[in-house]
């Protein structure tokens, strides 16, 4: 399954996968842009494959893009990040 899914679905998907893809997404979002080596170090993995796998999934879902070895959020990724930020201010009733 890949492709863009919409902001609400993407937020729920990232939350459900918070220790993997969600963590990589937030690392990129917080840094603005980052290289694979830095991501691997921030992720806390000695192996490359988990981070590469998460990046591939985020790229397939059009949340992250890689340009000349640098990963950053796509327009859709920025919308999802804005949704996360908005949820922090809105508490469930």
Alpha-carbon distance 13 to 70, whole Å? 24
> Which position has the higher pLDDT, 5 or 86?
86
- Alpha carbon distance 25, 64 (integer Å): 8
In this predicted structure, the answer to whether residue 89 has a pLDDT above a threshold of 90 is no
Query: For the segment 28-75, what is each residue's pLDDT rounded down to a tens digit?
Result: 999 999 998 899 888 887 778 889 999 999 999 999 999 999 999 999
Q: Kindly state the tokens that stand for 63.
A: 């949340």
The residues, any chain, with a CB within 8 Å of residue 76's CB and separated by 6 or more, are 4, 7, 10, 62, 63
For 74, the token pair is 């796509």
62: region left, alpha or beta (phi > 0 left; psi from -120 to 50 alpha): left
Q: Could you tell me the pLDDT band of residue 92, with boundaries at 50, 70 and 90?
A: low
**Of residues 47 and 79, which shows the higher confidence score?**
79
Which CATH number does the domain 7-89 belong to among 1.10.3720.10, 1.10.10.10, 1.20.1080.10, 3.55.40.20?
1.10.10.10
Above 80 in pLDDT, residue 91?
Answer: no
pLDDT at 1: 47
């Amino acid at each position: 399954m890949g492709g863009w899914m919409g902001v609400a679905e993407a937020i729920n998907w990232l939350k459900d996968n918070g220790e993997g893809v969600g963590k990589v997404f937030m690392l990129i979002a917080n840094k603005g842009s980052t290289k694979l080596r830095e991501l691997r170090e921030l992720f806390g993995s000695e192996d490359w494959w988990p981070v590469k796998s998460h990046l591939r999934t985020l790229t397939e879902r059009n949340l992250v893009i890689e340009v000349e070895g640098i990963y950053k959020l796509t327009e859709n990724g920025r919308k999802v990040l804005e949704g996360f930020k908005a949820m922090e201010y809105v508490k469930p009733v």
